[in-house]
């Protein structure tokens, strides 16, 4: 029997046409789909006997050929097992188009190391080497981990992304679910670093997910996060420099501290144009347990600068990555508007 062998037909049944199914759905299917084809549970169990042409991969999920499942088949089997009842995969999204449709899985998505592999992180293990595949479902679902399916629960499902035809958790969430099961500090560090360096996500989003998962109390995770934040800031500083050079902004002084003459330290800035009293500060705050206190301090600093007549433009690493031209226009506008403002207070500019 090969991958294209048709479903066995019970003489009294009239199987529904399966032209709308994708190729993988003709190899991996559910008990409910088999029943809709006229295949009774007893017949399915008979096909799965030792030496038979089928296998039962997970409760209610069948592989319609002998031999080990492929990575794609394992992914879809896990999703079929975890998808909400009544939302059977394989329902055509656009009936009548005549083309195979991608499976539809409700309230289930791949997460953890498998998702990171599908997102293209090179340091994530190969799919076939994973003993189990993490699948994210709502917290109240009555579903247990079994076989190659490892159930991960959440109070709020993120919006899934699609990779190689299956729904996957966004990279920050997938990282948190992977890190929760890892004790190898080197692996944790490599995953976080590649996710940021490769442009898959911003450090703050990763730290937020790790914090929500209560993982920041683990020493090896904290060490990896500190390295991640340092690397993320370095990348953001490089992008800021690129923005100034490539978009023709006047040269600022870089990485400076401001003080009032004979007075207190006002704070550090990533770029400052003294003649126009315009500054850029990279917002690389990482949400942690004391986020409210950090934000209050951050807001006070900004208000203090503005009372002195210094315009502070706050830019996040994500904005620098996704809309660098727009951020350059914001800074240029602030520089051009300097002539219409009252002169700023005199401050001492020192290297940081």
Task: Note if the pTM is more than 0.85.
Answer: no
Claim to verify: residue 185 and residue 260 sit in the same structural domain: no
* Tens digits of pLDDT across the chain (352 residues): 444 445 544 333 323 444 555 677 778 999 988 988 889 888 988 899 988 899 999 999 999 999 899 999 999 999 999 997 654 444 434 444 444 556 779 999 999 999 999 999 999 999 999 999 999 999 999 899 999 999 999 999 999 999 988 999 999 999 999 999 999 999 999 999 999 888 898 888 899 999 999 999 999 999 999 888 888 888 899 999 999 999 999 999 999 999 999 878 888 999 999 999 999 999 876 555 455 555 566 677 788 888 899 999 989 888 998 899 999 999 999 999 988 888 888 999 999 8
CATH number of the domain encompassing residue 305:
3.40.960
Domain that holds residue 207: 107-231
Claim to verify: residue 256 and residue 341 sit in the same structural domain: yes
* Angle made by CA atoms 146, 149, 150, in degrees to the nearest 5: 90
What is the 3 state secondary structure string of 173-184? HHHHHHHCCCCC
User: Long-range contacts made by residues 94-97, C-beta under 8 angstroms, separation at least 24?
Assistant: 95/20
Dihedral sign, CA of 113, 114, 115, 121?
A: positive
Claim to verify: residue 265 and residue 200 sit in the same structural domain: no
Place of tokens 């023709």: 248
> Pick from 36, 29, 38, 37: which is nearest to 56 by CA?
29
Task: Give Cβ neighbours of residue 248 (< 8 Å, ≥ 6 apart).
Answer: none
DSSP states of 225-248 as a string?
Answer: HHHHHHHHHHHHHHHHHHHHHHTT
What's the domain count of the chain?
2
Is residue 177 domain-resident? yes
- The SS3 of residue 115 is helix
Query: Among the three residues 231, 262, 290, which one is the final residue of a domain in this structure?
Result: 231
């Amino acid at each position: 029997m090969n991958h294209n062998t048709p479903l066995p037909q019970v003489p009294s049944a009239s199987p529904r046409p399966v032209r709308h199914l994708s190729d993988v759905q003709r190899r991996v299917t559910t008990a409910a789909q088999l029943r809709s084809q006229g295949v009774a549970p007893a017949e399915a169990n008979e096909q799965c006997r030792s030496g038979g042409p089928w296998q039962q991969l997970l409760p209610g999920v069948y592989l319609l050929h002998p031999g080990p499942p492929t990575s794609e088949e394992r992914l879809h089997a896990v999703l079929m097992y975890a998808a909400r009842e009544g939302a059977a995969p394989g329902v055509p999204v656009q009936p009548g188009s005549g083309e195979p449709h991608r499976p539809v899985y409700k309230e289930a998505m791949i997460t953890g190391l498998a998702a990171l592999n599908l997102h293209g992180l090179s340091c994530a293990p190969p799919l076939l080497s994973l003993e189990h595949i993490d699948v994210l479902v709502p917290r109240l679902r009555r579903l247990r981990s079994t076989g190659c399916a490892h159930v991960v629960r959440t109070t709020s499902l993120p919006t899934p992304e699609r990779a190689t035809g299956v729904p996957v958790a966004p990279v920050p969430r997938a990282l948190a679910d992977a890190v929760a099961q890892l004790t190898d500090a080197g692996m944790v560090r490599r995953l976080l670093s590649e996710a940021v360096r490769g442009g898959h996500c911003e450090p703050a989003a990763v730290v937020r997910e790790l914090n929500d998962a209560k993982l920041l109390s683990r020493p090896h995770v904290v060490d990896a996060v500190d390295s991640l934040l340092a690397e993320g800031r370095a990348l953001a500083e490089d992008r800021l420099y690129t923005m100034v050079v490539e978009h023709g902004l006047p040269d600022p002084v870089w990485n400076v501290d401001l003080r009032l003459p004979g007075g207190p330290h006002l704070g550090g800035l990533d770029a400052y144009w003294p003649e126009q009293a315009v500054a850029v500060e990279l917002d690389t705050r990482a949400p942690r347990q004391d986020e409210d206190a950090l934000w209050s301090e951050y807001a006070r600093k900004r208000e203090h600068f503005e009372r002195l007549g210094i315009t502070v433009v706050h830019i996040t690493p994500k904005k620098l990555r996704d809309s660098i031209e727009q951020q350059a226009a914001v800074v240029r506008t602030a520089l051009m508007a300097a002539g219409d403002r009252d002169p700023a207070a005199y401050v001492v500019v020192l290297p940081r």
